[in-house]
Amino acid sequence: MLTGCVPWPDEFAQRYRRDGIWRGEVLGDLLRPEAADDPDRIAVVTRHGRHSYAELDRRADRLAAGLVGLGIRADDRVVVQLPNTPDFVVTCVALFRIGALPVLALPAHRRSELVYLAEYSGAVALVVPDLLAGTDHRTLARAVRAAVPSVAHLLVAGEAQELTPLAGIDASPLDLPTPDPSAVAFFLLSGGTTGLPKLIPRTHDDYTFQLRATAEAMRFDENGAYLAALPVAHNAALGCPGVLGALRAGGRAVLAASPAPDEVFPLVSTESVTLTTLMPALLPVWMETAGIFGVDLSQLVIEVGGATLSPDVARQVRPTTGATLTHWFGMAEGVLSFTRPDDDDEVTATTQGTPLSPADELRVVDDTDQDVAAGEVGELLARGPCTLRGYYAVPEHNRTVFTPDGFLRTGDLVRRDAEGRLVVVGRIKDVINRGGEKVSVDEVEAHLLAHPAVRSAAVVPVPDSRLGEKTCAVVVAQDDPPSLAEVRAFLSDRGLAEFKLPDRLHLTAALPYTPVGKIDRRALARDHAGTA
């Protein structure tokens, strides 16, 4: 196992293998069976074209050989920041085949996040698009190389300028050794519990299990078409079953550039999409516009979660669109609980169902780690065959975020209903959930404090009818207080992703403190609950 990663204890690994949960599959084998047996079968579709299993399999082999030629080896970390394109799939599969480890950055990440990820992972390469939604990612890539000496290669999908074009990395396929299935295959980014987001190692064993089990639960097979409307770099659209699960099942992965109705609905119709994933904030827009686009959603299952879903909105989905909803609670860390397509609509509207597998162990505990009484609210602790045992290379943090017996402290407040289904009721971690995008308050506060006119600052959630929560920066300023626009421009110049820029600014004379001297964010959130 890669240094800095925490393996499952032998006793658990043996049990997961014995019970047929981990089956020794590796992610580099994605595309292979269909490429051999049914080469023209369509694997990936975008608005611009359709790509067969054989084509993508061949491209992945050639890219893998080209990357080896550049010097990329097993266990090397490669930050991959690509949007929903065939290049994403080919790049990841090529890296899986080498045993090199993609570190999946979101398209919204900017200089600050990319530098952080490259530094933290010790990346040897960065893969970016040329231009995306008005941002020149080549400029970001150059900034990463200037800041992080380990990054030797900047690979660009599209017009590379003086950097290395991804399309030019091409060589005759090599016979590469298959990675150990228990080895780390790639890294996802945590939504954060405290401080900056952490890297989540996902192994071949655990992720292929997740792909298989989520596909079975959603009744997704080779006849299915999965629509990626959310960024594929996020676990929700990547592997629940997502794009990789669709390919593992021999189905089609339909990649949308955005979840906007004019982008997705034509694809839903032409590709007869059967499954997709949405954050709750997008559901009302889909319900309002499906009729206008004349799209038939009656064969579609929509997995919704990642942030609070209003039961009222959930109840309207089938009557207005004909679509079937499943409601999930999930973390990139591997904890997954969800309702199944056959569940009663009321169960789906009001609970997040049951865990992915019987081998998942969930506990609901109080402040002293004692199990609460049945039906009571407490923090969710989780352990299981795809829940990590430690974040990458942060042993101190791991000592506080995991119990001594390996349960992850999720930072989420839940209860179990009378049937044992999970109901998420809140959160104790310092993260704001802005429509599913997680904003670590510590991270934004640290950037705010760098502003010359900011003496102290706290970032708190304020309720928002569309996104659930938005961010409010409460600032004690020096003589010349900044405006919201100035604060946003300042943070943006520091390279912070746009979704982390405060939505509101409140100037105050002093911040409240708890008796132990920490900023009392709960009091602030209460005080500012009406400011959205």
Query: Where do the H-state alpha helices sit in 355-495?
Result: 395-401, 441-449, 484-493
| Closest to 348 measured CA to CA, from 334, 337, 360, 356 | 337
Q: Judged by CB, which is closer to ligand AMP: 330, or 384?
A: 330
Q: Judged by CB, which is closer to ligand AMP: 91, or 352?
A: 352
Cα 215 from chain centroid (whole Å) = 18
Q: By beta-carbon distance, which residue lies closest to ligand AMP?
A: 191
Min. distance of Cβ 317 from ligand AMP in angstroms? 15
Between CA 32 and CA 28 the distance in angstroms is 8
DSSP string, 201-227: EEEHHHHHHHHHHHHHHTT--TT-EEE
Between CA 283 and CA 324 the distance in angstroms is 12
Q: Judged by CB, which is closer to ligand AMP: 28, or 306?
A: 306
Between CA 22 and CA 18 the distance in angstroms is 8
Both structure tokens of 218: 């959603």
Q: Judged by CB, which is closer to ligand AMP: 163, or 336?
A: 336
Between CA 236 and CA 326 the distance in angstroms is 13
Q: Judged by CB, which is closer to ligand AMP: 93, or 424?
A: 424
Q: Judged by CB, which is closer to ligand AMP: 53, or 392?
A: 392
C-alpha distances in Å from residue 381, one per residue of 81, 226, 315, 367, 373: 31, 30, 29, 12, 15
| Closest to 238 measured CA to CA, from 267, 277, 204, 200 | 277
Between CA 403 and CA 7 the distance in angstroms is 15
C-beta atoms surrounding 209 within 10 Å: 24
Say if CB 159 and CB 187 are below 8 A apart: no
Min. distance of Cβ 95 from ligand AMP in angstroms? 21
Q: Judged by CB, which is closer to ligand AMP: 109, or 427?
A: 427
Q: Residue 191: exposed, middle, or buried by beta-carbon count in 10 A (0-12, 13-18, 19+)?
A: buried
Q: Judged by CB, which is closer to ligand AMP: 306, or 495?
A: 306
C-alpha distances in Å from residue 91, one per residue of 206, 256, 452: 20, 18, 42
| Closest to 469 measured CA to CA, from 461, 479, 480 | 461
Q: Residue 331: exposed, middle, or buried by beta-carbon count in 10 A (0-12, 13-18, 19+)?
A: buried
Min. distance of Cβ 394 from ligand AMP in angstroms? 16
Q: Judged by CB, which is closer to ligand AMP: 230, or 454?
A: 230
Q: Judged by CB, which is closer to ligand AMP: 242, or 305?
A: 305
Residues that bind ligand AMP (CB under 6 A): 191, 305-309, 329-332, 352, 410, 412, 424, 427, 433, 438
Q: Judged by CB, which is closer to ligand AMP: 251, or 330?
A: 330
Say if CB 513 and CB 520 are below 8 A apart: yes
Min. distance of Cβ 325 from ligand AMP in angstroms? 12
